[in-house]
Structure 1
Amino acid sequence: MLQLTRRLTYSPTRIHTSGSSIRLRGITSTDYVQCKPISCMPAVRQITTSHEGVKRRKLNSSSISHRRDPSTKMPLLVQEIEDEPSVPTKLELTPVEDTLRTLLLDVAKHIDTAPSPPDAESQVPVPDELAKQPITLRFTGGWVRDKLLGIESHDIDVAINKMTGYQFGLRLKEYLEIPGNLEKYGLESIAANEKQSQKAGATNKSKTVGGLHKIEANPEKSKHLETTTMRILGLDIDLVNLRKETYSDDSRNPQMEFGTPEEDALRRDATVNAMFYNINTEQIEDFTGRGHEDMAKKLIRTPLEPYQTFKDDPLRVLRLIRFASRLEYTIDDAALQAMGNQDIKHELRRKISRERVGTELEKALLGPHPHEAMRLVFSLGLYDTIFSDPAVAKEDHYTPDIEGWSILIDTLEEILSSGGVLQENLARDSEESYLAWILAAVVPYRDAPRPEPAEAGKKAPPPIPVTVAREGIKTPNKISDVINAAVRNQTEISDLVDKVYDRKRRPDKKFEGEDPAARDVLGMAIRRWGTSWRSQVIYSLLVEFADNQGQTEAIERKYIAFIEHLRALDITDACALKPLLDGKALAKAIGTPPGPWMKDALDVVMAWQLRNPDRKDAQQAIEEVKNHQANGELTFGLVRHFLKLTIRPLFIKAAPKTVTEQGRKITTEQLPPKVTLQSMDDTTNRPWKSSKDAFVLNILRWTIKSLNEQRISEIWPLVIPPILTLLDDWETKYKQLGTELLTFLLKSTPTSLLIRTGLGEVFEEALLPCLTYIPTITPEEESIPLLQALYPALLILCKVRFPDDKTRRTKSLDTVIRKGIIYGHTHCSPNHPKILEILYDQLAISLDELGIDSVKHVKFILPMLTESLSDATGMATVPMLESSATAMQALIRNSWPRMVVYRGEVLKGVMFCWLRIQGMEGMDGLEGELRECVRLLKISVEQEDECDFEKECEGFVAVDGRLRGLFA
């Protein structure tokens, strides 16, 4: 029978028996239970162990009086119950872990039997009593804890009793370099450089041993321990020495010394992390005496007094938060109180590098319970300590709005754990969930002012939430970019969510502009936001929660409707959609070199694809663009895009002063523009002249060629300014281009549009001065292409302006003949036959357009033509003479009633030309034209009775027989 000598509580950590006493270790009390035989009771039977645990005896309190005299001889009733499982003392290693253990033990044996090389001596002295001991190795910390919890771990800290990690690593490498040793452990080689080392040991199938990486201690940042890392057999190994820390009164940095396992365990962050696995003895060692007990209680507490533990290394605050959230353990009250201490917060901010802070936070948020980690951060008042820019003084730092932040993270936790629409579509994996928590962390900075550039013209710093994340927890660029995009696009996302929700609720409501719920609008928005759009939508959702507390359900409904609409349209992966056309194909179809314009143009193609998901033939799209199919949706989409976003920005500074923004004629009196050096600077006002932006002229040409009468009014205000700007330019080549483009435009312009906008007169006023661009004022090589483009433009302008008004059309044609052809012939010397050729070609066309009204011009035109055909100067060319003969035919044909009077002058020019070319080769064409002149003249004059044209011709032949061929 057991006699209770004193009431006590203990942990069944370790039991040592001696005689009839059972002494319990692992408790602070020195009390113990004695077992004494009692003669009045039969011997107690031996308690055996079941497969579920150890049977123990429990006092049956229901059968004991609470006022029982402790001196009574009545025996206590004992009830036999099942005890909790006994504390494990050994671990079952995986094959890889067992191979590593064997390797490390072999290395230890090698070290014990071979002296250390001089260059591996430690700067930290080894105590004499320790130096005599053999190498003892232990797996420490989290690996032991995770092993006891049945959690797989690939990170192993190896503690060495009398060597630094770097020393041991060098000896390990030395051992493996001995021929035949690698093969013992299924290995083949040791990494010879950094590139090989990065790949080595990545998996348990890797046959290469990674190189050693020494991480120096940095006591100023509470990084007290030098460690050496390596990778082998798919395991990340940290080699460290057992140590103790000795603090002096005049320094806050500890003096590192080799320590005992007990000393090393007591300086660790938590009791559950302070257990070792001795690979020499294959035993679990709990030197704090509370590791097993705290694991059973799911309790996080420090081995030593909490305040001093955190004071020594403030990073332990975040480590305990991570362990508590990951393991679902409770932090000891004393530790919690110390973690929230202002001194500890100050030390955490001052001493710990932000890289280490970020690493701990990342591990916590990537763990199974990130919400608990964030809750602890908030409840301990650590938000400002962690999420702040350390480079900014506290008094100058923006104060984040953390009111209601705990509710915000509670709401986020509900969303991410619900398995609903938002979680399934916005936080599909651990990475997106992690981003959600990071974005939630910066929501309190949502209203922070946007930083201004340090200097005018310089790029502004990133938004404060980005800086806080980048500098406060050292988020990598990838994460910082997501935060930047989320902050930048938050308003657009929120507005679009509202519009889509409104369209879904009220589909019959009229709207202005593009349909916000349309597939192309939403698809292009997603592509504009980028691949992180899901995280950006979460940020927008959280911002709305924070700004509208109490409306959580209504806001959530909006965003659910938004996501469901995206899913219904099948555009959640719009970012991955590839354009049917690539930049080179599009540039080739348009006829311009590739350039920066392609990116936005391809967005137009993508929007077209989104509107037409069934159109998947790339060649069909190319043909539509290449052939200027004006009715094609893709073509017109590109036209509208180019005019708005590509052409207009480059022409805006030199826009004409004769038209309004709506593409109408300005009817009020305008002062002439002020001419300054700046206004004459083409690099500023006319960037389309530079080689970099000259591509826009080809795009403008393609755009105008792609217009049709049905849609030209939609883009009229956009297409007119660049054409007039070109016509108004001082360089002839740009006037020529403007003239050609105007001709294309007028072919698609309805008369009503020209009349309504009043631009017919504006165009005429821009074109007519160009008629004077002739030699010698203008070089012939510049004048020729301008005149060739100018006259067709004036003719089509006349036809479009006055399709039914014969009087005004005639007046316009008269102007062209007088101010253009007659003026040009008068001022252009005969030694420019190419110019005359153009004038005569256009004269023939104009006379045919005038018809009988050409009569008024006979007395001016006939001498011109006769002079050219006679070629008194000998400068004429055959093409010029043919053009002159063609113009003479048009004059005869349209002014036939007056030909009886002027027949002699007509024949004069024709006969002189005929006689001059006799005997020359290659004159068949010209001779034919001259004969046609005679034939038309004969028809015209034979209608008059008093004229005998045949007799007159015979008389000419009688004088010069060579004329017989002309009159035949």
Structure 2
Amino acid sequence: MFEELLEACKRLEEIKTPSWEISEDILKLIPDKTIVQALNEFLSNVIDKSDHVPMLLVAYATLIKIGKNSKKQDGKDGNDEDDLNDMLHGIADHLSSIILPICSGASLDEDTTDYTQLRRKGEVGLLAIEQLINTPLKAPLQLRPSVLLRLTAFTDVADPWATAESSALARKLLEAQLQILDESQTKSLIVEEILTTFLRPLFSKSRSTAVTASGRKAEFVEQSRYDTVDRETPETKPWKYTHRYAITVFSWAVEHSDSTLLQTHWPSFTPALLTLLDEPSHAGLKVRGLQIFRSFWSRCPPNLMHTTGLASVFEDAVFPAVLLLPTLTPEDESIEILNAAYPALIEMSGLKYPNPGSDPGPGLSTNGKQQITETQRRLLDKIIREGVMVGYHHAKEHVRLVGLFCDVLVCIINGMGILAVKHLKDFIPMVSEIMTDPFGTKHPPTLASATQLLQTILRNCWPRIPHYCNEVVKILMLCWLNIEDEDSFSSTSPIANDLKVELTKTADILSAVMKASKVDFHERVGVLIEKEPQLSKLFRDINPE
């Protein structure tokens, strides 16, 4: 019945058109009395993978024709309501199975997957499923959980098998289906269909020994029955190789879980989470795991992970990522990983990591209501001492990493407030080294980040700043003069002007701190201005009482 239509769709597919518009000429090849059963049987016989896109086009065109002839088809297809429902579900099952993005290759470095083909299959297949759901033969079709699971594979536009169109359509279809499902059905989709039936077998052979098979903290490290096999194979890590879409499915499940679901079913999430966090050999997967973990942590009920004993397990899994530094880790990969790892650790400590450009807000210890606990303080101290400071001293020649460390410290110090004062002996030398570097002006973003860090230190640790006043004055003075002497900055350079504005603001904060401490700031900087008059624009608020 579909031979002539299939040939026409093959010619359409060969054109490689970015649009999947079905012309009237193609629709005319479909008999007016085409029945759902015929399409279901046609899709059930799909064998040749090279013809998947044309076959999906056949389904899409047929469903369009069925929709246009709905009055003729409705009640005249020789099938009762139950049979029609089963066949529609069969078509949805076949379509979703065909578009499933199965990858190939023995390793990620030797990936032989034809992603162009997967992207085209995904686009036309999802269009066909959308047409199927909205066919006028019956009320909007409620897809089975297995089909919904396959749709989630296309929800992340960053995946190589997804496009902006297929990702948007997959999310649209899923959101519409979730509105049909009740709370228990949504819970069953996530817990039973996705986490238990689909993901658990895929991650079982590479599960972290820090948790038991049931997802709870392991009191004693047990030897896995897979310890004797090669852990870097498609057989032991199918989620990393052939079934890479499993990570996207897991991410979607976490994104659509609420605190009520996690309160009861958290053990179903932990094995996959820890397996992704422990991934040692691929930066992209580690970043993806960290992003999913942040989403999971933000949705967990307060103190749930501490109560279950898993907070320390996750801390041990995340923390090594902040030490993936050059030269063993390429700088670009290191920045990508650290930009995901530090926010995860900071949020584990109870602070909110601000979005770029947003106001970090007051620290937990300064709002009068919520105080930092001892557990939070210990983690923040560890992040500073064993993370940021170690990273800075190890990779200080990488200016982009230095800027990242400054941004991380701004967030932590704003959160700790006065409790950060104990780290001044490390902060001030670090800021001094960055801002007084004669070559620091070659990378203004890092210089700006260091200036923001110094302002944050002055605002939060002001009771101890008088002790470091001379050092801070020296930092501001040398940085200002370096900017003035930078040949690449013109007299009207907006970059130089922005840096000077921030330095002047920092000097004003320092002046206010010294005034509050009843220290004569004019006495300290007046002699500098006499020798270098251009510093008067920097230290503008020094008029003696």
Instruction: Give your verdict on TM over 0.5.
Output: yes
Q: CA deviation at 1:806?
A: 1.7
Equivalent-residue separation in structure 1 for 2:299 and 2:438 (angstroms): 45
Q: CA deviation at 1:661?
A: 3.1
Equivalent-residue separation in structure 2 for 1:934 and 1:772 (angstroms): 34
In the other structure, the counterpart of 2:527 is 955
Residue by residue, what CA displacement relative to the aligned partner does 1:455-494 show, whole Å, maximum 9, x if unpaired? xxxxxxxxxxxxxxxxxxxxxxx9xx9xxxxxxxxxxxxx
Residue by residue, what CA displacement relative to the aligned partner does 1:276-310 show, whole Å, maximum 9, x if unpaired? xxxxxxxxxxxxxxxxxxxxxxxxxxxxxxxxxxx
Counterpart check, 1:890 vs 2:456 = yes
Q: Is 2:143–2:177's contact at 8 Å kept on the other side of the alignment?
A: no
Aligned-residue RMSD, C-alpha: 3.9
After superposition, residues 372-387 of structure 1 pair within 5 angstroms as none
Equivalent-residue separation in structure 2 for 1:826 and 1:794 (angstroms): 20
1:967 aligned counterpart, secondary structure: coil
Counterpart check, 1:902 vs 2:468 = yes
Change (3 A) 1:935 1:876: same
Change (3 A) 1:939 1:838: same
**Larger helix fraction of residues:** 2
Q: CA deviation at 1:938?
A: 1.6
Q: Percent identity?
A: 27
Q: CA deviation at 1:865?
A: 0.6
Residue by residue, what CA displacement relative to the aligned partner does 1:325-348 show, whole Å, maximum 9, x if unpaired? xxxxxxxxxxxxxxxxxxxxxxxx
Q: Is 2:414–2:460's contact at 8 Å kept on the other side of the alignment?
A: yes
Q: Is 1:630–1:706's contact at 8 Å kept on the other side of the alignment?
A: no
1:687 aligned counterpart, secondary structure: coil
Of structures 1 and 2, the one scoring higher in RCO (CA 8 A, sep 6+) is 2
Equivalent-residue separation in structure 1 for 2:339 and 2:177 (angstroms): 25
Q: CA deviation at 1:657?
A: 1.0
Q: CA deviation at 1:674?
A: 8.0
After superposition, residues 496-535 of structure 1 pair within 5 angstroms as none
Among candidates 760, 768, 775, match of residue 319 of structure 2:
768
Among candidates 681, 693, 717, match of residue 232 of structure 2:
681
Among candidates 777, 799, 822, match of residue 350 of structure 2:
799
In the other structure, the counterpart of 1:716 is 266
Counterpart check, 1:574 vs 2:85 = yes
Q: CA deviation at 1:671?
A: 5.6
After superposition, residues 599-748 of structure 1 pair within 5 angstroms as 602-604=143-145, 622=172, 625=175, 633=183, 636-640=187-191, 641-670=193-222, 676=228, 678-690=229-241, 692-731=242-281, 732-748=283-299
Q: Is 2:148–2:174's contact at 8 Å kept on the other side of the alignment?
A: no
Q: Is 1:956–1:963's contact at 8 Å kept on the other side of the alignment?
A: yes
Equivalent-residue separation in structure 2 for 1:844 and 1:621 (angstroms): 36
Change (3 A) 1:628 1:702: farther
Q: CA deviation at 1:718?
A: 2.2
Q: CA deviation at 1:781?
A: 1.6
Change (3 A) 1:941 1:884: same
In the other structure, the counterpart of 1:758 is 309
After superposition, residues 872-951 of structure 1 pair within 5 angstroms as 872-874=438-440, 877-918=443-484, 920=489, 921=493, 922-945=495-518, 947-951=519-523
Q: Is 2:209–2:221's contact at 8 Å kept on the other side of the alignment?
A: no
1:684 aligned counterpart, secondary structure: coil
Residue by residue, what CA displacement relative to the aligned partner does 1:6-30 show, whole Å, maximum 9, x if unpaired? xxxxxxxxxxxxxxxxxxxxxxxxx
Residue by residue, what CA displacement relative to the aligned partner does 1:243-285 show, whole Å, maximum 9, x if unpaired? xxxxxxxxxxxxxxxxxxxxxxxxxxxxxxxxxxxxxxxxxxx
Change (3 A) 1:674 1:642: closer
**Larger strand fraction of residues:** 1
Q: CA deviation at 1:952?
A: 2.9
Q: CA deviation at 1:847?
A: 0.8
Equivalent-residue separation in structure 2 for 1:896 and 1:854 (angstroms): 11
Equivalent-residue separation in structure 1 for 2:401 and 2:198 (angstroms): 37
Q: CA deviation at 1:932?
A: 2.3
Residue by residue, what CA displacement relative to the aligned partner does 1:859-909 show, whole Å, maximum 9, x if unpaired? 111100111001145585111111111111111111101110101111212
Change (3 A) 1:653 1:620: closer
Q: CA deviation at 1:571?
A: 4.4
Q: Is 1:736–1:786's contact at 8 Å kept on the other side of the alignment?
A: yes
Q: Is 1:624–1:632's contact at 8 Å kept on the other side of the alignment?
A: no
In the other structure, the counterpart of 2:328 is 777
Q: CA deviation at 1:852?
A: 0.5
Q: CA deviation at 1:709?
A: 1.0
Which residue identity lines up with residue 344 of structure 2 in the other structure? A
Equivalent-residue separation in structure 2 for 1:674 and 1:620 (angstroms): 36
Q: CA deviation at 1:708?
A: 1.4
Which residue identity lines up with residue 936 of structure 1 in the other structure? I
Structure 1, gaps ≥5 residues long:
1-477, 482-566, 609-618
Q: Considering only CA atoms, is the larger Rg found in Structure 1 or Structure 2?
A: 1
Counterpart check, 1:786 vs 2:337 = yes
In the other structure, the counterpart of 1:861 is 427
Q: CA deviation at 1:759?
A: 0.7
Q: Is 2:417–2:460's contact at 8 Å kept on the other side of the alignment?
A: yes
For normalisation by structure 1, the TM-score amounts to 0.36
Change (3 A) 1:627 1:736: farther
Q: Is 1:821–1:839's contact at 8 Å kept on the other side of the alignment?
A: yes
Equivalent-residue separation in structure 1 for 2:234 and 2:255 (angstroms): 27
Change (3 A) 1:740 1:626: farther
After superposition, residues 463-502 of structure 1 pair within 5 angstroms as none
Equivalent-residue separation in structure 2 for 1:627 and 1:779 (angstroms): 43
